[in-house]
Amino acid sequence: MAQLAGVSTATVSRALTAPQKLRPATLARVTEAVRRTGYTPNLAARTLRARRTMLVLVVVPDIANPFFSDVLRGVDEGLSQHGYGFLIGNLARSRAKEPQLANIALAGQVDGMLLLNGRIPQGGRRSLTASDIPMVAVCEAIEGARIPQVEVQNREAARQAVAHLARLGHRRIAYLAGPPDNFVERERRGGFCEGMTAAGLSARSARFYPGDFTFASGVAAATAFLQTRPRPSALFAANDEMAIGFVKTMRSAGIVVPDQVSVVGFDGIEFADFVEPTLTTFRQPRRELGYRGATLLVAAMRGEAIDPAQAHQYLPVPLLERGSTALAPAV
């Protein structure tokens, strides 16, 4: 290959990694030879010598969750643009695999990590936090971690949900919660309370139904809701799946949504469009979350300084006003 172009292997290497260092004529000869032979540099050799793998480990809490697959699409776009590929580390909703994933990074098998799970994996042979492996957190923020993060304006959106309902005349607004140890749940709940206060309503006296982000917990909340007196006229669910479970149960109990109860969800999953009535919700910019996270990580892996203003991004989540919210029924 090098012979065909009449140059040394060093020159070939330079042609591929630092073309500006070559005379145009030489570069052209090498390029032509590369084209003719269909030469591809061996990745392993390059990695071995240059100590870069051009690979990123993406830690996902649950790969079977469609939410993350959309985020992954953005990650894919952001990384492949810069020549990076990615490995997927699926935690499958448990922490058992964390040490294994941490070690992949610590062993230098990847150049950086993208954390979608709201936690820095623990239990590796060394501490990831203390290492200088570039990491970026996406979707679920990691409190106290000194790494770039990209999340959505959970708190702000939740406030807006309450404001939207208050504007429609609702005064008894309930909250359908996620798991209490979850970061986004806490943000959304906090925003809900702030929104209540801002609307001149008492957050203290609002009804809070427990939930865990599943459809089933939405159903359970609906059952509890039916027995609540006085019955709230609106409900803000911390995610769409619960909201849909809630709405479905309401309807089978003969309660008309939105006439008797307004419901607001969160996430903007695809099926929010397909249920009856269509769900009023906040559309998370999933692809964008992944894309921005990937872009930040690439910068970090290249050793570029990250603009502090970019280091922690809060993306806006637009409210989609649709069929499940309406004016409060007259008292």
Partner DNA sequence: TTGATTTTTGTAATCGATTACATTTTCGGC
Partner DNA sequence: GCCGAAAATGTAATCGATTACAAAAATCAA
**Rule CB under 7 A: which residues touch DNA?**
6-14, 16-17, 21-23, 25-27, 39-42, 45-46, 48-50
> Measured from the CB of residue 248, what is the shortest distance to a copy of itself in angstroms?
6
Q: How many residues does the chain have?
A: 331
CA–CA distance, 247 with 262 (Å, rounded to integer): 9
Strand, coil or helix: what is 66? helix
Contact 174, 209 (CB under 8 A): yes
Assess 95 for contact with a copy of itself (CB under 8 A): no
* Binding residue (CB under 8 A) for a copy of itself from 157, 165, 244, 289: 244
DSSP codes, 250-270: HHHTT--TTTT-EEE-SB--G
Map the footprint of a copy of itself across residues 17-56, applying CB under 8 A. 38, 40, 42-45, 47-48, 53, 55
Judged by beta carbon, residue 19 or residue 318, the one nearer DNA is 19
Assess 285 for contact with a copy of itself (CB under 8 A): no
> Measured from the CB of residue 76, what is the shortest distance to DNA in angstroms?
24
Assess 251 for contact with a copy of itself (CB under 8 A): yes
CA–CA distance, 135 with 141 (Å, rounded to integer): 12
> Measured from the CB of residue 150, what is the shortest distance to DNA in angstroms?
30
Assess 130 for contact with a copy of itself (CB under 8 A): no
CA distances from 25 to 1, 31, 34 (A): 17, 10, 14
CA–CA distance, 281 with 327 (Å, rounded to integer): 16
CA–CA distance, 62 with 66 (Å, rounded to integer): 9
Judged by beta carbon, residue 133 or residue 176, the one nearer DNA is 133
Assess 245 for contact with a copy of itself (CB under 8 A): yes
Assess 68 for contact with a copy of itself (CB under 8 A): yes
Judged by beta carbon, residue 87 or residue 255, the one nearer a copy of itself is 87
Contact 114, 86 (CB under 8 A): yes
DSSP codes, 164-207: HHHHTT--SEEEE---TT-HHHHHHHHHHHHHHHHTT--STTS-
> Measured from the CB of residue 218, what is the shortest distance to a copy of itself in angstroms?
9
> Measured from the CB of residue 271, what is the shortest distance to a copy of itself in angstroms?
5
Q: Which two tokens stand for residue 210?
A: 């427990």
Contact residues for a copy of itself (CB under 8 A)? Answer: 38, 40, 42-45, 47-48, 53, 55, 63-66, 68-70, 72-73, 76, 85-88, 90, 92, 103-104, 106-109, 125-126, 215, 244-245, 248, 251-252, 271, 273-276, 287
